[in-house]
Structure 1
Amino acid sequence: MTTEARGGNTPAPRQPKPLLSANIRDGLVELIVSGRLKSGERLVETKIAADFGTSQAPVREALRELEGLGLIKSSPRRGRHVLPFVEQTIREAYVVRAALEEAATRLALLNGRLPLDAMHGDVEDMYRCAEVEDVRAMGLASTRFHRRVVVASNNFLLERAWEGLQIEARTAIALVVTDSDLTHVADEHKELLQVLEQGDLEAACMHTRKHQWAYADLPHDMHGAG
């Protein structure tokens, strides 16, 4: 898909100021994924706080999130240690996410609640993120885009299950692990939005599922074919 031309005076992506704990989390994720923090290495709150120039409270919050993502483990009397990074856990999350977002897409289209204008704004933000190679902002814009569909499903349990996957953090990890072309990521979301706008229920559900399965990187496609 061809990227639309954009002017030189491009405004910065619209996004809230990130939480300090999220910055610490993303910094630690990059260190773990890149191997600079080794498997089994102990994580000391006071040292991390000093490295990031902050108090221990946001460090503690970031570490709790990383433990929930399966990147670190907390043991009595031994503290927190880095676990071996297993990309399979990221892939598995995308399979589950695909099922949830396909259901959300079906419900949102049936009840006519998709906020298409806001989603166009998210895609525009993604292109701006790509231009300045801002991976973190790209992850936030992508998460906003997909969260709008999930919220539009008007299904509390579905939304809670989706949020339980810690989508923002997993998206940040996936972008680092796959070293994604950010313009291509924006193109994918633009294409998905175009399919959603056409209103064909089955085509939209199929494309939503494919959009997530592409990141699962499994040895078979979503139909079971090799």
Structure 2
Amino acid sequence: MSPYLQIMPAHDQTDVRQTLSHRIRDTLVRQIVSGELEPGERLVETRVAATFGTSQAPVREALRELETFGLVEIKPRRGTFVRSFIRETLRESYVLRAALEETATRLVLMAGNVPFDQLKDDVKRMHDAARENDTEAVGMESVTFHRHILEAAGNDLIKRSWENLHIEARTSVTIMARTPDLAGIARDHEALLDSLSAGDVEAACALARQHQWDYAELPDSTPSD
């Protein structure tokens, strides 16, 4: 261990480990979603640690997060394995989410119940987070934006169906699987807000649907022709 690490304050060591853990997590997410890491493949902590030039502690933290996202399965005394059907499940979830959010958009516009103040605050925080290059905060604000629309729709079955898609986890996975244009994500949500402000029900519904369909197109490891 270097002298610097020996004298580093405990909270600084924690910050460094978390930064490493997030970098490892994000890289593994991209490899899993792209298919570079195949279903059933075992992720060996020592090998991953060697690849990143770190100890096993941040690797272990990253793998626990991947398990929370549903990307890997940690089997006691056997190891960590990539789960099957990740790409298909993500795509299907966005198709379903598109239908739910299109319907919610229609309901809030027809009822004149669009939560404009909340949505404007969400977009502002998204832009602020994008300027800070805070990927996680942009993802969180995106989820909050859409949740405000779902809640304002006033249909409990739609909202519960939406929540059952584990939106936070899937949003995090999708953003990490890409090379995200954070400012672009904020602008996309500003466009959604503008469409709600314009009051054209069909145009706003079409944009809400297309917004989710765009995210169903996941990166692929297969070289393009």
Q: TM-score, normalised by structure 1?
A: 0.69
Q: Which stretches of structure 1, 4 residues or longer, exceed 6 Å deviation after superposition? A: 25-28
- Tell me the distance in 1 between the aligned counterparts of 2:165 and 2:25: 16
- Tell me the distance in 2 between the aligned counterparts of 1:63 and 1:214: 23
Assess, with a 3 A threshold, how the Cα gap between structure 1 residues 143 and 51 changes in structure 2: closer, same or farther. same
Match of 2:28 among 28, 32, 36: 32
- Specify the alignment match of 1:101 in structure 2: 101
Shift of residue 182 of structure 1?
Answer: 0.7
Larger helix share, 1 or 2: 2
Pick which of 169-178 and 81-90 moved more: 81-90
What SS class does the counterpart of residue 184 from structure 2 fall into?
helix
- Specify the alignment match of 1:168 in structure 2: 168
- Specify the alignment match of 1:136 in structure 2: 136
Pick which of 78-87 and 94-103 moved more: 78-87
Cα deviation per residue 1:39-90 (whole Å; 9 max; x = unaligned)?
32268xxxxxx825x9x9xx97x566333xxx12355874653336843332
Q: Which letter does structure 1 place at the counterpart of 2:110?
A: L
Q: Show structure 1 runs of 5+ residues with no match.
A: 1-22, 44-49, 219-226
Query: Is 1:65 the counterpart of 2:68 in the alignment?
Result: yes
What SS class does the counterpart of residue 206 from structure 2 fall into?
helix
What SS class does the counterpart of residue 73 from structure 2 fall into?
strand
Aligned residue pair count = 188
- Tell me the distance in 2 between the aligned counterparts of 1:83 and 1:186: 31
Shift of residue 175 of structure 1?
Answer: 1.1
Query: Is 1:124 the counterpart of 2:124 in the alignment?
Result: yes
Query: Is 1:188 the counterpart of 2:194 in the alignment?
Result: no
Assess, with a 3 A threshold, how the Cα gap between structure 1 residues 113 and 27 changes in structure 2: closer, same or farther. farther
Assess, with a 3 A threshold, how the Cα gap between structure 1 residues 31 and 126 changes in structure 2: closer, same or farther. same
Assess, with a 3 A threshold, how the Cα gap between structure 1 residues 28 and 207 changes in structure 2: closer, same or farther. same
Cα deviation per residue 1:152-175 (whole Å; 9 max; x = unaligned)?
111111111101111111111111
- Tell me the distance in 2 between the aligned counterparts of 1:161 and 1:42: 36
- Specify the alignment match of 2:147 in structure 1: 147
Q: Which letter does structure 1 place at the counterpart of 2:201?
A: L
Q: Which letter does structure 2 place at the counterpart of 1:136?
A: E
List aligned pairs for 1:194-209, cutoff 5 A. Answer: 194-209=194-209
Assess, with a 3 A threshold, how the Cα gap between structure 1 residues 180 and 66 changes in structure 2: closer, same or farther. closer
Q: Which has the larger radius of gyration?
A: 2
Cα deviation per residue 1:124-156 (whole Å; 9 max; x = unaligned)?
111111111100000000000000011111111
What SS class does the counterpart of residue 173 from structure 2 fall into?
helix
Is the 1:143–1:167 Cα contact (8 Å) retained in structure 2? yes
Q: Show structure 2 runs of 5+ residues with no match.
A: 1-18, 46-55, 219-225
Is the 2:26–2:176 Cα contact (8 Å) retained in structure 1? yes
- Tell me the distance in 2 between the aligned counterparts of 1:75 and 1:201: 49
What SS class does the counterpart of residue 73 from structure 1 fall into?
strand
Assess, with a 3 A threshold, how the Cα gap between structure 1 residues 208 and 35 changes in structure 2: closer, same or farther. closer
Is the 1:32–1:85 Cα contact (8 Å) retained in structure 2? no
Q: TM-score, normalised by structure 2?
A: 0.69
